[in-house]
Amino acid sequence: MTDTADRLDAQSIQGVVIRFAGDSGDGMQLTGDRFTSASALAGNDLVTLPEFPAEIRAPQGTLAGVSAFQVHISDHDIHTPGDEPDVLVAMNPAALMSQLGRLKSGGTIILNTDAFDERNLEKCGYEVDPRDNGTLDDYIVHEVPMTSLTLGAVEELDVKKRDAERSKNFFALGLISWMYTRPLEPTIEWVNEKFAKVQTVVDANVMALKAGHAFGETTEMFGDQYEVAAAPNEPGTYTNITGNVATSWGMVAAGQLAKLPVFLGSYPITPASDILHELSRHKNFGVRTFQAEDEIAAAGAALGAAFGGHLAYTTTSGPGVALKGETIGLATSMELPMVIIDVQRGGPSTGLPTKTEASDLFLALYGRHGESPLPVVAAYSPSNCFDMAIEASRLALKYRTPVIYLTDGYLANGAEPWKLPDVDSLPDISVSFTTEPNGDNGEFLPYLRDEIGSRPWAIPGTAGLEHRVGGLEKANVTGNVEYDPDNHGLMTDLRQAKIDGIANDIPLAEVDAVDGAKILLVGWGSTWGSIKAATERLREAGTPTDRVHITHLNPFPSNLGDILRAYDHVIVPELNKGQLIQILRGKYLVDAKGVNKVKGLPFTGGEVVEAVESIVAGTSQGVSL
Amino acid sequence: MTDVTLDPTKRGYWTSDQDVRWCPGCGDYGILAAMQFLYADLAADPDTEVSKENTVFVSGIGCAARFPYYMNTYGMHTIHGRAPAIASGLAAARPDLDIWVVGGDGDMLSIGGNHLIHALRRNVNMKILLFNNQIYGLTKGQYSPTSEVGKVTKSTPMGSIDAPFNPLSVAIGAGATFVARTHDLDRKHMMATFKRAHEHRGASFIEIYQNCNVFNDGAFDAVTKRAARDEMMIDLVHGEPITFGAESQRGIVVDNGTAEIVEIADVDSSRLLVHDEGRDDPSLAFALGQLAHDRQSPTPFGVFRQVERPEYTDGVTNQLLAANEQQGPGDLHALLHSGATWDVN
């Protein structure tokens, strides 16, 4: 292939941030995803940020319909999708208009000029063609008639013009692949597999891809090619993984590690549906997926399966958690294991279904009536979703409790390279069903607790252990319906003590520390990458800064209070209006300051750095972006 | 004396040690007794296999929903309206279990209407008992979705203004494969009906006329009191012409899709409707269900409909087997390596 030869002349760069943007129907997510996969196979470190509208097809050519995919590839360890793109691929005027402000000054723009007609310019509100009035003077602009070049490339095929035009994203991908010396083979292989049923689509896409590549090579428009070398990484086998796939595989793995069949009750909701889709493909693991009639039934079915002895999950996003609240409360009362996975999105209400936010922490912790404590854990990166799915399952099974596991839209759809774990190194999370009576008189006592406060899990089919569980308050030990006031107080305390005791069964919080740091950044969830990047930049700028990231949000690691009290400045960046910070201030009486952003987007590293600097300088008591 | 709690053929074996806490005189007592006697009979029947460890009663909230506490089997007393959904999950996970769902008219048709219709649509293998007393009992007497229009209750002092559900119409409309009606005063009829449901593969729906003697006493007296039965209860027998009355003098004809009561003497006997439970088309069952449009009309009892349709949990099991055959048994290492991978040395 030509691309191996090209590499000899390529100019080496440390990394690049590319943003693909176009109409919802232009296939930008696919383009970004393919470029990401090729880069992953080349060994780059990478972080992605897909951004798409909630509408399946917003009106064509409008600002509302712009779909974008940002990918940051690097020859070293990186943590964010990049503050500002170096390169913007804009498939139409709306994409240019909506994305230009993000582009780095002096950055490169590749335009599909065929889309720059009067109608498209008008649709997004350009009165004058931005190519003609100096708007783009600060950038390096490459004008490429991608649509017509694509049509030319596939001319020999018997496809309608409208269909042929749809391959223009592969032309763009071919061009960018040439610029950054990415091999085409993985994409060609993928196209062959994906569109195997329609040979003309395979042919058109491959021809367009090659044409884009050849265009870069033969025109003198682009000058240099660039190469981003592989990032030094620990030896091992890697794959590129998104958070939702990692969560799904974590659920399958947890079933294997627990030696239990997996049951998922779910109702489609953005951005969690992909977990339902992925799990439905793995029935050969004994995984049962139940697409319920609503969110409530999805949680209910999972609880029913848990009573039957399955490792039960329900997956959803914020609105679904609100609906499942009563069932989760029942699970805390019945003390049955189940995991509720909340892929958070912008709220309130329908909010921003396709955008990220981390504003369900209070909902997870407190979103039920009565005293109904439960463990809450959160993943911090796409690949970490695998580990946290297993951890949530471990806690649920061991402590016979519902567990809420939080991810978010950024983790769910974002991708990163993942060093695949050795299956044999994964933890054994199996528990035993109770099979014999546990009472002194040969009776079965369903609420007789063990040393960690967990009750027996005796499943239907076990002779001699027939019992009834319900949402009415239960007498301690026997589990019979009981209204006695003191018993209710006791049961409330026992349920709380069981959850609190989990603090002894989770890792201590680990501080990423340097000498002399008086600043501590405290994060949870998907802000991990941004906070890590910010910490490194602050250190490079001469401000020693420490960092702690909390994966267990209820209960907290037992050393968290001591850690917080050791710093002059405790700063808590969150993608909400200050939820973790309120708990930390209330629980540990530390004067923490918040950095908050609720814009449907993750923090950039730069935003966190600036906010920390202004708080430490005393010019701000907290930053709301 | 033998210990009845050790003999599966005795009612005591199926009775839990919990005190029953329904109001004295409640129709629920009769239903509970019928169920316990049925299981004693089933245990004695060499052709039927039942065990208390494999039997689960799942309920929602309401007076009827206390039912599981009183059966010496596994049981879940859950949340208002959700029992069919919770039981569906249990059935999908554990198709080996013998599952009953118990609820009242508020539980099943108001807050839980959605779950009821979907359980019936999916044809999940379970028996759903709807205790219809046409009133909210546990919350002390508000009108329910099966109360007659004009019902004066605490929440409707000027009379209710919304039309009631006909539970059988809802069930038949949702595609239920087994639909029956019985009442709390006739233990034998209840036992026979429950037994038929137990034998059915798929979702069974049984409406039980149940008297709430505190908040809606005598709601069904005009139909189910012993003295009224001959003239007011229409016994459905598969394959037989539908007749009723002290002298079996009345029958049913279907005219333009509507079932009508006629004097047999007035019509040609070939016009009399012969009951066919197994008729695939649900329109006749629906028409029979619509026959009793108030509490003063002759009302059909028995099995309205019993048809075969693929059962949901069988589908679940079959897909697991097919996936195992096509993809081989799950291999976690292979799953993790199923995407594009690269090695770093």
What does CATH list as the number for A239-424?
3.40.50.970
Q: Are B238 and B277 in contact (CB under 8 A)?
A: yes
Instruction: Please check whether residue A402 touches B, CB under 8 A.
Output: no
What pLDDT, in 10s, does the model give residues A61-106? Answer: 999 999 999 999 999 999 999 999 999 999 999 999 999 999 999 9
Across the interface, which of B54, B75, B77 has its CB nearest the CB of A461?
B54
Compute φ and ψ for A143, nearest 5 degrees: -95, 120
Across the interface, which of B61, B333, B344 has its CB nearest the CB of A235?
B344
- Find chain A residues with C-beta within 8 A of B341's C-beta: 237-239, 420
- Find chain A residues with C-beta within 8 A of B329's C-beta: 284
Across the interface, which of A256, A327, A461 has its CB nearest the CB of B53?
A461
Residue B138, pLDDT score: 92
- Find chain B residues with C-beta within 8 A of A235's C-beta: 343-345
Average pLDDT, chain A: 95
What pLDDT, in 10s, does the model give residues A595-612? Answer: 999 999 999 999 999 999
Instruction: Please check whether residue A478 touches B, CB under 8 A.
Output: no
* Non-local CB neighbours of B95 within 8 Å, separated by 6+ positions: B125, B313, B314, B316, B317
B53–A465 C-beta distance less than 8 A: yes
Across the interface, which of A236, A463, A466 has its CB nearest the CB of B344?
A236
Q: How many whole angstroms separate alpha carbon A31 and alpha carbon A20?
A: 8
- Find chain A residues with C-beta within 8 A of B333's C-beta: 423
Average pLDDT, chain B: 96
Would you say the CATH fold of A511-624 matches that of A239-424? yes
Residue A4, pLDDT score: 41
Instruction: Please check whether residue A95 touches B, CB under 8 A.
Output: no
Instruction: Please check whether residue B73 touches A, CB under 8 A.
Output: yes
Cis peptide before A573 (omega within 30 of 0): no
Q: How many whole angstroms separate alpha carbon A618 and alpha carbon B16?
A: 69
Sheet holding B243-244, edge to edge: B243-244, B250-255, B258-263
Residue A9, pLDDT score: 67
- Find chain B residues with C-beta within 8 A of A466's C-beta: 52-53, 72-74
Q: Are A274 and A245 in contact (CB under 8 A)?
A: yes
Three-state SS sequence of A306-324: HHCCCEEEEEECHHHHHHH
- DSSP annotation of A421 reads P
| Position B145 pLDDT exceeds 50 | yes
Around Cβ A248, how many Cβ atoms within 10 Å?
29
Describe chain A by its helix, strand, coil percentages, rounded to 5. Answer: 40, 20, 40
Closest-CA residue of chain B to A313: B89
Instruction: Please check whether residue B19 touches A, CB under 8 A.
Output: no
Distance from CA of A358 to the nearest CA of B (A): 28
Q: Which of residues 315-344 of B touch A (CB under 8 A)?
A: 316, 319-320, 322-324, 326-330, 332-333, 335-337, 339-344
Q: How many whole angstroms separate alpha carbon A263 and alpha carbon A254?
A: 11
Tell the burial category of B258 from Cβ atoms under 10 Å away from its Cβ (0-12, 13-18, 19+): exposed
Q: Are A299 and A328 in contact (CB under 8 A)?
A: yes
| Position A429 pLDDT exceeds 50 | yes
A420–B337 C-beta distance less than 8 A: yes
| Position A3 pLDDT exceeds 50 | no
Q: How many whole angstroms separate alpha carbon A217 and alpha carbon A2?
A: 9
Choose from A307, A387, A436 for mutation: most chain B CBs within 10 A. Answer: A307
Q: Are A548 and A620 in contact (CB under 8 A)?
A: no
What does CATH list as the number for A2-228?
3.40.920.10
For residues A444-450, give the mean pLDDT.
98
For residues A252-266, give the mean pLDDT.
98
B319–A301 C-beta distance less than 8 A: no
What does CATH list as the number for A511-624?
3.40.50.920
Q: Are B207 and B201 in contact (CB under 8 A)?
A: no
Across the interface, which of B16, B55, B340 has its CB nearest the CB of A41?
B340
Q: How many whole angstroms separate alpha carbon A208 and alpha carbon A169?
A: 8
Around Cβ A506, how many Cβ atoms within 10 Å?
18
Cis peptide before A555 (omega within 30 of 0): yes
Strand segments (E) across A504-557: 511-512, 519-524, 545-550, 552-554
B118–A297 C-beta distance less than 8 A: yes
Instruction: Please check whether residue A35 touches B, CB under 8 A.
Output: no
Q: Where do the domains of chain A lie?
A: 2-228, 239-424, 432-506, 511-624
What pLDDT, in 10s, does the model give residues A186-214? Answer: 999 999 999 999 999 999 999 999 999 99
**CA distance readout (Å), B285 to B171, B241, B253:** 11, 14, 13
B330–A471 C-beta distance less than 8 A: no
Instruction: Please check whether residue A515 touches B, CB under 8 A.
Output: no
Choose from B94, B111, B314 for mutation: most chain A CBs within 10 A. Answer: B94
Instruction: Please check whether residue A606 touches B, CB under 8 A.
Output: no
Please calculate the CA angle A98-A102-A107 and round it to the nearest 5 degrees: 110
What pLDDT, in 10s, does the model give residues B196-253? Answer: 999 999 999 999 999 999 999 999 999 999 999 999 999 999 999 999 999 999 999 9
Residue B2, pLDDT score: 62
Q: For residue A68, how far is the Cα from the chain centroid?
A: 16
Burial B230-257 (b: 16+ CB within 10 A, else e): eebbbebeeeebbbbbeeeebbbbeeee
Closest-CA residue of chain B to A262: B93
Cis peptide before B298 (omega within 30 of 0): no
Sheet holding A140-144, edge to edge: A45-51, A66-74, A15-23, A87-90, A108-112, A140-144
ipTM above 0.90, yes or no: yes
Q: Chains A, B: CB contacts under 8 A, how many? A: 209
Across the interface, which of A37, A253, A290 has its CB nearest the CB of B92?
A290
Instruction: Please check whether residue A233 touches B, CB under 8 A.
Output: yes
| Position B310 pLDDT exceeds 60 | yes
B91–A460 C-beta distance less than 8 A: no
Q: Are A143 and A130 in contact (CB under 8 A)?
A: no
Residue A159, pLDDT score: 87
| DSSP helix/strand/coil, B71 | strand
Q: Which of residues 296-325 of A touch B (CB under 8 A)?
A: 296-297, 300-305, 307-310, 312
Which domains, and CATH codes, for chain B?
Answer: 4-219+310-318 (3.40.50.970)
Q: Are A323 and A296 in contact (CB under 8 A)?
A: yes
Q: Are A306 and A356 in contact (CB under 8 A)?
A: no
For residues A415-443, give the mean pLDDT.
96
- DSSP annotation of A106 reads T
| Position B53 pLDDT exceeds 90 | yes
For residues A277-286, give the mean pLDDT.
98
Q: pLDDT band at residue A223, thresholds of 50, 70 and 90?
A: confident
